[in-house]
Structure 1
Amino acid sequence: MKQDTTTSPSPTPSTDAVQPAQAQGREDLKAWEASQPANIYLSDAHFKRLVPLYVTGEAVEKLEADLERFGAQVVSAVDPLVRENNLHQNLPRLERYSGIGERVEKIAHHPTYHEAGRYIYGSGVMSAYAEHPNAVGVLSRFYLSSYNGEAGHNCPLACTAGVIRVLQELAPDALREKYLPGFLNRDYDKHLEGAQFLTEVQGGSDVGQNGTRAERQPDGSYRIWGEKWFCSNIDADVFLMSARPDGAQDGTRGLGLFFVPRELDDGTVNNFTIRRLKDKLGTRSMASGECDFRGARAYHMGASEDGFKNMMTLVINTSRLFNAAGCMGLARRAYITARTYAAHRHAFGQPIINYPLVQETLANLKAEVDACTSGTLHLAWLSDRNERGQAGKDEQQFLRMALNLNKVRTAKSGRWACVEGIEILGGNGAIESFSPLPRLLRDAIVFENWEGTHNTLQMQIMRDMQKYGVHEGFFSYLENRLRDCRASDQTQVETVRDIIGKSKKSLASLATLPPGAATLAMRPQMDRLAWIFYAVTRLWERGQQENAAAVDDASVQQFIAHRLLGEVDYSDSAVLSRLRTLLQDI
């Protein structure tokens, strides 16, 4: 008889079996999720130190109480709502007609959109404008809201802020009394929202080419005829629009600023149609679209010759400050996500936060977010001073130049922070369901192009330098701030003062170059000027505070070394110590 020489197959390991290393890895990830701050205001030591620097008296107590309450809600309530609302199947939809065939031009949102909105508007972020001027109070709340990226509501907040400013400064009494209370209402279910429609298909930055017409009516109102190509928050209650009154001159000087209600007094659509919604890379929970206006009733805001000026001063500059605060809110989230992950993720036997390369990446992230947040809140404070008529010439020139520098740099830094955060998470960083970083990165890329591309803002700064000499006030203001710094920071103050001197010479040399070459030579100066602004602001802040924390010392030193000097002496044993100190703060 032949013997059976076959052997039984080896048992197949169960796919459900979990190895000890895998179990530990998953427990580490659970610990990471559990380590996220329960309150983003209380956990943000740097921002907490800034608030009482720029707001005082009873106002600071009220603001801090609002921020503490909202800081908890942003994490516990708003975050999960925003995540669900941003899922593809929950994105906004265009509904042009009602169930009985009436044209309504409405946007349908998932219920989580409205639930999130109740918390965000309930924070008082728009109602704070009742205490005008109050950019610091408004943007402090907005910064916390932006922890969740655009969140479907943060672009509408920026647009609404522009409408509020126009109503406060330019509107006839009857129009202001009719609409302003609704915009200042913190009850989401009763509030009004605004939008701003400038961009047309032939171009966004070249506003002077706008072709939309405004036809004056016998009663003094206007009818708007034309197409707007990129209309964010398209379901707003009121649109601010650029349009050219019949007979007006070409270019930006002929443009007027118009207030266009979504609905007429009888509740019908105000003679506009939505072509379609934009399928955007980011900010997907907020509806953007294309609109045709076919005789929409409108009201002219301000003097006819000041339309573009008012648009820039009250609408675009306001949005640029909001954009900066939004970028820093999501950048702060990127840092928190990466910092806590590094503390719990193990590789080669220890948490990856123990490795110097990771430490330096996180330290640079924190130092830059701190610096850009400081700069943005400083500009909000200076904007309030300017609104009160308290700003001198240097302050006004500084504000004009720094607003644009800050918009460019914070937008770059917001995107960079998300990319660096994803790098810390490795492959996990690319997974939409693993962390908010992919969504934040997509939002940050859109933020970068809102309210002027980098090139557009650079050219505006160069025109302002040539026409108004704003760089002279810019440097003068910063040099004055350096006189109010701590004695213990004088070494760094002298470093910054020396760099200011070199930057003055670099800008002066632009005048010797042909125009095309000058624009190219200005590009690297843009970042350098922003870094100078942030470094001076950080040093000045410390001079106003009685007890600066060690982590704050480390943040300033790291920022100056990494960004302003662009070099680090790694032979200095204090470098690694500084990195570890800086990472003591989440």
Structure 2
Amino acid sequence: MAATTHTVSNQAPPLVGYEVYLGDRALTEGVERHLAGAAADVADEVRRELADLGRAAGSAQALEWGRLANENPPVLRTHDRYGNRIDEVEFHPAWHRLLGHAVGAGLTDAWGRPSGHLRRAAGFFVWSQAEAGHGCPVSMTHAAVPALRTDPELAAVWEPLLTSHVYEEGLRPPADKAGVLFGMAMTEKQGGSDVRASTTAAVALDAPGEYLLTGHKWFCSAPMSDGFLVLAQAPGGLTCFLVPRVLPDGTRNAFAVQRLKDKLGNRSNASGEIEFDGTWGRRVGEEGRGVRTIIGMVAATRLDCVTGSAALMRQALTQAVHHAEHRSAFGAVLSEQPLMRNVLADLALESEAATTLALRLAAACDAGTDRERAFLRLAVPAAKYWVTKRCTPMVAEALECLGGNGYVEESGLPRLLRESPVNSVWEGAGNVQALDALRALRREPDALNAFLQEVGLARGADHRLDAAIRDLLTDLADLEGIEARARRVAERIALVLQGSLLVRWAPPEVADAFCASRFGGDRGSAFGTLPHTLDLGGIVARARIAG
């Protein structure tokens, strides 16, 4: 074929070998802001860790691992060649490389480290941009720690393995491994989010704290993990249990993986249905207190839903801006055309608001004060509701910025789009989060007080934000039919919180545009409808990968 027909022009160059951390102004500024009170050696260590991780996340090697993990999904092996049940899930080597790098970077190790939640959340944000699917076991392993700490004896054995920086694949007794991964299995066919409807039964053995479990779990996340936190009905009511895959004597626990789910989202991770049939479990916490025991894990994974969605949004924005700055149409570079600049600026606002909020929540976890715990009680469900809801339309709009190129798998945008709804569904869909925020408002007055103190720090800085806060308080004062309005209330809480953070910390052009479009009413329903008088060029320039 004539070589002249294969001349490539007007295509964006590959986005590879870039700084995922150091090139992200909103992220680096946010980390520095929350490191302000840290010891100098801790701050230097965090900066070095995140810079190294960001360099790796943007490397050709990591991007290739992501591609291979996506194109080679896991395979369930229920039996060996002799007919023995093994219930193993095989993954492509690229999946193990991604997981190994995540664990080695300390993304399962936040508890008790100086600025541990901040550095871990920022690292999770950075590394999951290489490939989001493997973040599921990383998140659950990290989140299992607070649940296990309700039983100091269990925590003493398992916590060092969960927070280890060593990744060892394969099923072996935990005592023979330098590090382990955890999953969870709570959902059942008949219950969904209503975990109290669980029918899995737990029968106590003679040994204290030991039970045999029988039942079916409709969703088991990361079934290749070393251990799981599950809920089952014990004589005293719904109870939390630790179920290991391999027992201390080296035999396999009764843990039958019936099938892997054919999911909408990423293709690299595995979710399955499992059967317990005389499965050994160790009680965690008190009988009948299963929800209270596991709530710490749920809160941590919900925060990861916010962070993971913010990471997807940032990666989609990065791809859109990169394409628009290298692609010309109708005589001009796309990013210089007014309407495309408006779209990119709007996407950048959404991304920075999500990033800033996720870092603020992580810093609150590090602070650990009564006020910050009360703040998190309301802020986490509201943020989880709103940020995860905004992820899908934003990623879809970023894909459209690439036109037909974005609709092709090789661009990576379809992978981001398939993944974008998962955090809205996982750990309680939108209605669950909105109602949880409502419960915090009704039952925990300190939560509302802490939230109002937080947004009050921006009081007087922007009249549109001040008006939005007043409108929210009016909404909260009218309790009649508030449950039917719970989504609207959660949305307003999240938006007011994002606005207050941006007014305090973001550049003036970002804060002004956010308040004008999110509170001022001067915006359409689609992205790219910002008031044209705003500094849209400055907002897009800030979103560009620095360096």
Q: Indicate whether 1:357 and 2:333 are aligned.
A: no
Look up the SS of the partner of 1:170 in the other structure: coil
Q: Is the 8 A contact 1:95 1:107 kept in 2?
A: yes
Q: 1:40 aligns with which of 4, 17, 20?
A: 20
TM-fit CA distance, 1:101: 4.0
Q: State the match for 2:484 in structure 1.
A: 520
Q: State the match for 1:5 in structure 2.
A: none
Look up the SS of the partner of 1:211 in the other structure: coil
Q: Aligned pair in 2 of structure 1 residues 521, 165: CA closer, same or farther (>3 Å)?
A: closer
Look up the SS of the partner of 1:33 in the other structure: coil
Instruction: Map 1:299-448 onto structure 2 (within 5 A).
Output: 299-312=282-295, 314-386=296-368, 390-392=369-371, 395-433=372-410, 435-448=411-424
Q: State the match for 2:32 in structure 1.
A: 52
Q: Indicate whether 1:68 and 2:51 are aligned.
A: yes
| Superposition CA RMSD, Å | 2.2
TM-fit CA distance, 1:266: 2.3
Q: 2:213 aligns with which of 214, 224, 233?
A: 224
Q: State the match for 2:476 in structure 1.
A: 507
Instruction: Map 1:132-147 onto structure 2 (within 5 A).
Output: 134-147=116-129
Q: State the match for 1:196 in structure 2.
A: 184
Look up the SS of the partner of 1:214 in the other structure: strand
Q: 1: distance between equivalents of 2:521 and 2:69?
A: 41
Q: Indicate whether 1:582 and 2:539 are aligned.
A: yes
Q: Aligned pair in 2 of structure 1 residues 171, 491: CA closer, same or farther (>3 Å)?
A: closer
Q: Is the 8 A contact 1:51 1:60 kept in 2?
A: no
Q: Is the 8 A contact 1:148 1:440 kept in 2?
A: no
Q: Indicate whether 1:534 and 2:510 are aligned.
A: no
Q: Aligned pair in 2 of structure 1 residues 112, 557: CA closer, same or farther (>3 Å)?
A: same
Q: State the match for 1:178 in structure 2.
A: 157
Q: Is the 8 A contact 2:517 2:531 kept in 1?
A: no
Q: State the match for 2:171 in structure 1.
A: none
Q: State the match for 2:247 in structure 1.
A: 264
TM-fit CA distance, 1:418: 0.9
TM-fit CA distance, 1:471: 6.4
Look up the SS of the partner of 2:470 in the other structure: helix
Q: 1: distance between equivalents of 2:261 and 2:396?
A: 25
Unaligned stretches of 5+ residues in structure 2 = 169-177, 525-529
Q: 1: distance between equivalents of 2:377 and 2:24?
A: 29
Q: Indicate whether 1:210 and 2:198 are aligned.
A: yes
Q: Is the 8 A contact 1:73 1:119 kept in 2?
A: no
Look up the SS of the partner of 2:230 in the other structure: strand
TM-fit CA distance, 1:575: 4.3
Q: State the match for 1:560 in structure 2.
A: 515
- 1:491-529: CA deviation from partner (whole Å, max 9, x where unpaired): 42x3312221121112212x2x3x4xx333333333222
Q: Is the 8 A contact 1:146 1:327 kept in 2?
A: no
Q: Is the 8 A contact 1:158 1:319 kept in 2?
A: yes
Which structure has the bigger radius of gyration? 1
Q: 2: distance between equivalents of 1:467 and 1:381?
A: 24
TM-fit CA distance, 1:284: 2.0
Q: 2: distance between equivalents of 1:457 and 1:192?
A: 30
Deviates more, 1:300-309 or 1:406-415: 300-309
Q: 2: distance between equivalents of 1:177 and 1:465?
A: 36
Q: 1: distance between equivalents of 2:414 and 2:337?
A: 25
Deviates more, 1:301-310 or 1:257-266: 301-310
Q: Identify the structure with the greater helix proportion.
A: 1
Look up the SS of the partner of 1:264 in the other structure: coil
Q: 2: distance between equivalents of 1:238 and 1:353?
A: 49
TM-score by length of structure 2 reads 0.91
- 1:522-548: CA deviation from partner (whole Å, max 9, x where unpaired): 333332221100011122335xxxxxx
Q: 2: distance between equivalents of 1:430 and 1:97?
A: 39
Q: 2: distance between equivalents of 1:378 and 1:497?
A: 20
What one-letter code is carried by the residue in structure 2 that aligns with 1:219? A
Q: 1:482 aligns with which of 449, 458, 480?
A: 458
Q: State the match for 1:277 in structure 2.
A: 260
Look up the SS of the partner of 2:106 in the other structure: coil
Q: 2: distance between equivalents of 1:166 and 1:107?
A: 26
Look up the SS of the partner of 2:180 in the other structure: coil
Q: 1: distance between equivalents of 2:375 and 2:314?
A: 26
What one-letter code is carried by the residue in structure 2 that aligns with 1:564? F
TM-fit CA distance, 1:400: 0.9
Q: 2: distance between equivalents of 1:329 and 1:560?
A: 23
Q: Indicate whether 1:159 and 2:114 are aligned.
A: no
Q: Is the 8 A contact 1:36 1:337 kept in 2?
A: no
What one-letter code is carried by the residue in structure 2 that aligns with 1:227? H
Q: Indicate whether 1:96 and 2:60 are aligned.
A: no
Q: Is the 8 A contact 1:401 1:470 kept in 2?
A: no
Q: Is the 8 A contact 1:103 1:269 kept in 2?
A: no
Q: Aligned pair in 2 of structure 1 residues 574, 225: CA closer, same or farther (>3 Å)?
A: closer
What one-letter code is carried by the residue in structure 2 that aligns with 1:326? G
Q: Aligned pair in 2 of structure 1 residues 213, 423: CA closer, same or farther (>3 Å)?
A: same
Q: Is the 8 A contact 1:239 1:261 kept in 2?
A: yes
Q: Is the 8 A contact 2:76 2:88 kept in 1?
A: yes
Q: Is the 8 A contact 1:36 1:336 kept in 2?
A: no
Q: Aligned pair in 2 of structure 1 residues 479, 431: CA closer, same or farther (>3 Å)?
A: closer
Look up the SS of the partner of 2:346 in the other structure: helix
Q: Is the 8 A contact 1:142 1:326 kept in 2?
A: yes
Look up the SS of the partner of 1:562 in the other structure: helix
Q: 2: distance between equivalents of 1:99 and 1:65?
A: 48
Look up the SS of the partner of 1:63 in the other structure: helix
Q: 2:467 aligns with which of 498, 507, 513?
A: 498
Q: State the match for 1:16 in structure 2.
A: 2
Deviates more, 1:139-148 or 1:316-325: 139-148
Look up the SS of the partner of 1:257 in the other structure: strand
Q: State the match for 1:6 in structure 2.
A: none
What one-letter code is carried by the residue in structure 1 that aligns with 2:68? E
Of all paired residues, the percent bearing the same amino acid is: 28
TM-fit CA distance, 1:584: 1.3
Unaligned stretches of 5+ residues in structure 1 = 1-14, 249-253, 484-489, 543-551
Q: Aligned pair in 2 of structure 1 residues 132, 41: CA closer, same or farther (>3 Å)?
A: closer
What one-letter code is carried by the residue in structure 2 that aligns with 1:179? W
Q: 2: distance between equivalents of 1:47 and 1:37?
A: 18
Q: State the match for 1:84 in structure 2.
A: 68
What one-letter code is carried by the residue in structure 2 that aligns with 1:122? G
Q: 2: distance between equivalents of 1:416 and 1:568?
A: 16
TM-score by length of structure 1 reads 0.85
Q: Aligned pair in 2 of structure 1 residues 391, 28: CA closer, same or farther (>3 Å)?
A: farther
TM-fit CA distance, 1:318: 0.5
Q: Aligned pair in 2 of structure 1 residues 238, 133: CA closer, same or farther (>3 Å)?
A: farther
